Amino acid sequence: MSIKISPSVLTADFLTLADDIKKLEAAGCDMLHLDVMDGIFVPNISFGVPVIKSIKAHSNIPLDVHLMIDRPHRYIKDFAAVSDWLGFHFEAGSDSAELLKEIRNLGCKSCLTIKPCTAPEEIFDLLPLCDMVLVMSVEPGFGGQKFMPSALDKLAVLKQEIDRQGLNVELEIDGGINAETAPLAIEAGATVLVAGSYVFSDKMEENVAFLKSL
């Protein structure tokens, strides 16, 4: 699989987001990563369906929506209506298998996310229902955290199992991705890179170009 770039708007300046999205489109970004936080599953609150709907109306980039919310099955239809890729946390209190099926039935690509405390082996039986698996390399909830090297081992284990099962599943990594950590993540098996503060900076085009070159 070719490497895909999914910039995270969590660290963006929302007053200039429309202009930044146009720059990201021109730079060839593959997705736009949107972190939805409810203040319950994670200790922060971000945005919901109305903001994502507005972004979708003004963007040609597929939206990679990451639900960091408690019992995500309660809102899955609403978010599926404004998402291209829709993911939730294995640890969030929903029936993961049923929710992954529902996401696909609603016309979205399905993504299952695991926190740093979750072993990759716990989701092996769910891999056939996933279009993508997201490995968190920081604790979910806040941007700008330091990269956790343990995520590299998880990527490698998941890559091996995906290959063993003969599946076509993207492996995404989120947290602390920059010029130093991105090559390590790709070497471990990542095919989708989520980058926040590294991309939303005064070197946006330059940094996206570097990630695209990997």
Catalytic residue ranges: 35, 174
Inter-residue contact 105 to 99 (CB < 8 Å): no
- Largest pairwise CA distance in the chain: 46
Q: For 175, which DSSP code? A: S
The closest alpha carbon to 190, from 142, 161, 154, belongs to 154
The CA–CA distances, whole Å, from 17 to 33, 52, 196 equal 13, 12, 13
Dihedral over Cα of 3, 84, 209, 141: its sign? negative
Q: In what order do the strands lie in the sheet with 132-136?
A: 4-7, 192-195, 170-174, 132-136, 109-114, 85-89, 63-68, 32-37
